[in-house]
Amino acid sequence: MNYNQILKKGENYLKKNKIQNPNLDVELILSKVVHRKREDILLNTNNKLKNVEMIKFKHFLSRRAQKEPMAYILGYKHFWKYKFLTNKSVLIPRPDTELVVEETLKYLPNDKSKKILDVGTGSGCIVISLIKERPICTATAIDISIKALNVAKTNAKMHQLENKIKFINIDIDKYKSYNYDLIISNPPYINSIELNRLDDDIKFHEPKSALSGGSDGFRDLKKVILKSKKLLKINGKLIIEIGHKQKNQCTKILNDNKFYINEISKDLSGKDRCIVSTKL
Ligand SMILES: C[S@@+](CC[C@H](N)C(=O)[O-])C[C@H]1O[C@@H](n2cnc3c(N)ncnc32)[C@H](O)[C@@H]1O
């Protein structure tokens, strides 16, 4: 079978399985299988697949038909300006989370070395993007999941930052290192009702421990805020990602814990997504 035939067959199969972008997904899968750029494939549609490539193609296609996200099948996802390795142990970096990077950079001057903590680093996408932009800063990244932390370490190595970011496998509740200038976190914040309503791609494939914020969605947000109060210097910044209906409750928790709200920013679809606050 040549590229053209396999692309058509694959697309139809994904369509039948109600996959949203069958055309793009099948091109990316073929590109992974034959180790060629997507553009090269489209320029050489008469090329034939080898047997071993056919087997691999069918395997990846069937994973996609079962709604496994492309980032796990391909093994990477682009975030900010960089490529991050992804597997089932980590949440797939989201475009909305780039807002956390954008907001944080406003509070990190180019010429000042700040001490940063990333709580729940996952793939490491936030902290690695930040240190790429501000190499003068020092950072620690923690995660309760050892498997996620291993992915983050690999990503740091891939971006030549393995000696600049310290990775620690620990629950935020047990972490005791103080005097941070800035804490960032995208904690799990989905409540149990919303968790059940998520698309199958997310619900059945991404780690629950990275999504579920307990019955009301605030379990980990509360933990991060209460702990940050202790770990931050006075005037230190806490920058958190929130669910789009969590603004009021979160600002209340922050105010009750003596944080001043600097800014609440909206994501790409106009929903409240990121709060910048200062420990008073
Ligand atoms: C929503 S994911 C965010 C991952 C990554 N920072 C991002 O933005 O793509 C939340 C992460 O927090 C970690 N986590 C959950 N509870 C935690 C806790 N109590 N202490 C430390 N990390 C925790 C999870 O393992 C997961 O990797």
Per-residue pLDDT tens digits for 170-205: 999 999 999 999 999 999 999 999 999 999 999 999
Which is the closest atom of ligand 1 to the Cα of 143? Answer: 22
| Distance separating alpha carbons of residues 123 and 90, to the nearest angstrom | 6
User: What is the chain's alpha carbon radius of gyration, rounded to the nearest angstrom?
Assistant: 21
Q: What angle do CA 131, 136, 138 make, to 5 degrees?
A: 65
pLDDT at position 3, please?
96
Return the C-alpha torsion angle 75, 78, 79, 80, nearest 10. 150
pLDDT at position 107, please?
96
Query: Which has the closest alpha carbon to 127: 193, 189, 184?
Result: 184
Task: List the domains of the chain with CATH numbers.
Answer: 3-66 (1.10.8), 76-279 (3.40.50.150)
| Mean pLDDT, the chain, whole residue set | 97
| Distance separating alpha carbons of residues 205 and 134, to the nearest angstrom | 33
The response to whether residue 127 sits with its C-beta less than 6 Å from ligand 1 reads: no
pLDDT at position 166, please?
98
| Distance separating alpha carbons of residues 128 and 157, to the nearest angstrom | 10
The response to whether residue 92 sits with its C-beta less than 6 Å from ligand 1 reads: no
Query: Which has the closest alpha carbon to 90: 128, 131, 116, 62?
Result: 128
pLDDT band at 252 (very low <50, low <70, confident <90, very high): very high
Contact 136, 113 (CB under 8 A): yes
The response to whether residue 277 sits with its C-beta less than 6 Å from ligand 1 reads: no
The response to whether residue 186 sits with its C-beta less than 6 Å from ligand 1 reads: yes
CA 253 / ligand 1 centre spacing (Å)? 20
What mean pLDDT do residues 209-225 have? 97
pLDDT at position 48, please?
95
Which is the closest atom of ligand 1 to the Cα of 223? Answer: 19
